Amino acid sequence: MNFVYYPGCSARGSSKDYELSTQAVCKALDINLVDIPDWNCCGSTPAHAVDTELSAALCVRNLDIAAQQEAELVLTPCPSCLSNLKLASKRMEDPAFRVRVDELLDGPSAKTFPPVTSVMQGIAENFDMEAIAARVRKSLKGLRLAAYYGCLMSRPAEIMNFGDPENPTLMESMLAACGAEMVDFPLKTACCGASFGIPERPMTARNSGRILDLATQLGVDAVIVACPLCQMNLDLRQPQASKEMGTSFNLPVLYFTQMMGIAFGLDHKDLGLGKLRVSADGLIRKLDELRRESAAGSKAAEGGRS
């Protein structure tokens, strides 16, 4: 099946591994992601922090192109892009706002825009948990994982439509279908510190540190994320967080598509695992060991019966 795709700027830059693993997993599910031609940056936080109409204009250019392409649905992997696109679409329903935004564009934009949703929801809407489980070649059974959604994915609830804003569970369902034990993670929607890593490092280091700290206390093997900025803050900036919290974290932080890709038995190169700062090698080794043990276990059982 084909989906119109809005990759977002990080996908081709600092979160290339998210893009790689998203493409790989979608390919494995026979989902073809077709880029919105000539897509531009949605403006992320800086645009809406500066001006709402500017932010909307940047987003509407993309939605307009998608509308011209007669897209029925647009998928995007980044919660910030998702939030901006959805909010812009909603605000354009106000005629006065629409006039102001269209003034910034080359021409008046389409009357209606296609709905936008996350890649995760796009997959879940077309593959129920049994279908996902059926694709698993290497069960994650025995791995304890914490699903971390970040603050944007599920809020505001009426715009993002991502389940309970306090307790979304879609990632847990999908990874549980791959066999993992999903630990209850109370800070699953707490903010990681967003884009303040550059202008105010302690803000990000402290917030990310708190998340990593709880995950460590809960004894998880990895933290699984769905947002490029969260991943950067928890992984690339993990040493900064360690320093701020006066400890030394060693927790791999993987995108859910990378984790699913591993479960689907996809080539690790295609999942961008090499781009993780905190290496996932230990995690992979543990997983392989668990699979060897359970294979040996069942063999022994067979042996015993004969």
Partner 1 sequence: MNDAINLSRMRDAAFTAEVEALSGQNVSTCYQCGNCTAGCPAGLAYDLQVNKIMRAVQLGLRDEVLNSRSIWMCLSCSTCSLRCPNNIDVAGIMETLRHMARKEGRVTVPKVEKFWFSFLDTVRAFGRTYEIGTMALFMMRSMRVFTDVDLAPEALKKGKLGLKPHVLPKGAAPVSRIFERYKERAKREGVRP
Partner 2 sequence: MRIGVFVCHCGSNIAGTVDCAKVAELARAYPDVVYADDPMYTCAEPGQAAIEAAIHEHKLDGVVVASCSPRMHEPTFRRTVERAGLNRYMLEMANIREHVSWIGRDMNANTNKAAELVLLAVEKLRNNRPLLAKSFDVNKRVLVIGGGVAGIQAALDCADGGVPVVLVERDATIGGKMAKLDKTFPTVDCSACILGPKMVDVAQHSNITLHAYSEVEDISGYVGNFTVKIRKRATYVDWSLCTGCGACTEKCPSKKTPDAFNELVSDTTAITIAFPQAIPKKAVINAAHCRQFVKGKCGVCAKICPTGAIKYDMEDEIITVEVGSIIAATGYDLMDWTVYQEYGGGAYPDVITSLQYERLLNASGPTSGHIVRPSDGKEPKNIVFVQCVGSRDKSIGRPYCSGFCCMYTAKQAILTKDHIPDSQSYVFYMDIRAAGKLYDEFTRRTVEEYGTEYIRGRVSQIYPDGQGQLVVMGVDTLMGQAIEIKADLVVLAVGIEASKGAPQLAEKLRISYDSYGFFMESHVKLKPVETNTAGVYLAGVCQGTKDIPASVAQGSAAAAKVLALFSKDKLESDPQIAQVDMRRCVNCGKCIQCCPFGAIKEVEVRGEGKAQVIETVCQGCGLCTATCPQGAIQLSHATDNQILAEVNALCQC
CB of 57 to partner 2, least distance (A): 33
CB of 212 to partner 2, least distance (A): 12
- Distance, in Å, from the CA atom of 152 to the CA atom of 165, rounded to the nearest integer, reads 10
Q: If contact means CB under 5 to 8 A according to the sort of partner, which of partner 2, partner 1, none does residue 51 touch?
A: partner 1
When the beta carbons of 167 and 195 are compared against partner 2, the nearer one is: 167
Q: Across the chain, which distance is largest between two alpha carbons, in Å?
A: 79
Q: If contact means CB under 5 to 8 A according to the sort of partner, which of partner 1, partner 2, none does residue 214 touch?
A: partner 2
Q: If contact means CB under 5 to 8 A according to the sort of partner, which of partner 2, partner 1, none does residue 21 touch?
A: none
Instruction: At 170, list the tokens.
Output: 């879609």
- Distance, in Å, from the CA atom of 214 to the CA atom of 199, rounded to the nearest integer, reads 25
* Number of chain residues interacting with partner 2 (CB under 8 A): 10
CB of 303 to partner 1, least distance (A): 45
Q: If contact means CB under 5 to 8 A according to the sort of partner, which of partner 1, partner 2, none does residue 186 touch?
A: partner 2
Under rule CB under 8 A, residue 297 binds partner 1: no
Residues 202-261 touching partner 2, rule: CB under 8 A, are 214, 217-219
Candidate list 98, 135, 206, 286; residue touching partner 1; CB under 8 A: 206
Q: If contact means CB under 5 to 8 A according to the sort of partner, which of partner 1, partner 2, none does residue 167 touch?
A: partner 2
Q: How many CB atoms lie within 10 A of CB 147?
A: 26
CB of 209 to partner 2, least distance (A): 14
Under rule CB under 8 A, residue 194 binds partner 1: yes
Q: Where do contacts with partner 2 occur on this chain (CB under 8 A)?
A: 164, 166-167, 184, 186-187, 214, 217-219
Q: Where do contacts with partner 1 occur on this chain (CB under 8 A)?
A: 9-10, 12-16, 37-38, 40-41, 43-54, 57-58, 61, 103-106, 151-152, 155-157, 165-166, 189-191, 193-203, 206-207, 236-237, 239-240, 274-277
